[in-house]
Amino acid sequence: MTDQASATSGTDGHAGVADGSSGPPGAGAVVVRIPGPLRSLTDGAGELEIPGGTVGTVLETLVLRHPGLRRHLLTEDGTVRDYVNVFLNEDDVRYRDGVDTPVAPTDTVTIVPSIAGG
C-alpha cells in the first residue's frame, strides 16, 4: 500500500504542524512500520510507504494521510509525544538529529509507543 501527502517539519527533535505545502522536491518514500495497536487507524496496514526528506516530514505526512494517528503520535502543538519512540532503521532518532534526521528511500521508520506496566 502506498500513501502520499505533503508535510513540513519542526525543529528540536519533534515533528511540526503541517501547512499542507509540498514536501521537499524529489523526496523518496520510506517504509513506515505501524505498531499493532494503531493499525486500525491505517486500514490495517502494518507498513506504509510515505514520502519525505526527514523523519519529521515523514511523520507529518503520515498523520495527514491518517488523521486518527495524530492524537496518538503528536501533541497539540505538533511535537512527538514523550511516550512515542521513533527509530530510523536501528537508531533512535533522539540520539541523531531528532525529526530533522534525513531519510533515504532505502530507510525504514519504526514507531514504537512506550508500554507502561507494573
Q: Determine the Cα–Cα distance for residues 46 and 36; give it in Å rounded to an integer.
A: 7
Q: What is the pTM of this model?
A: 0.75
Q: Cell 502506498, residue?
A: 2
Which CATH number does the domain housing residue 66 bear? 3.10.20.30
Q: Cell 500500500, residue?
A: 1
Q: Determine the Cα–Cα distance for residues 41 and 34; give it in Å rounded to an integer.
A: 10
- Provide the residue range defining the domain that includes 57: 29-113
Is the pLDDT score of 16 beyond 70?
Answer: no
Residue 86 lies in a domain: yes
Is the pLDDT score of 107 beyond 80?
Answer: yes
Residue 9 lies in a domain: no
The confidence score (pLDDT) of residue 109 equals 98
Q: Determine the Cα–Cα distance for residues 74 and 59; give it in Å rounded to an integer.
A: 9
Q: Cell 499542507, residue?
A: 20
Is the pLDDT score of 112 beyond 80?
Answer: yes
Residue 14 lies in a domain: no
The percent of residues above 70 in pLDDT, for the chain, comes to: 75
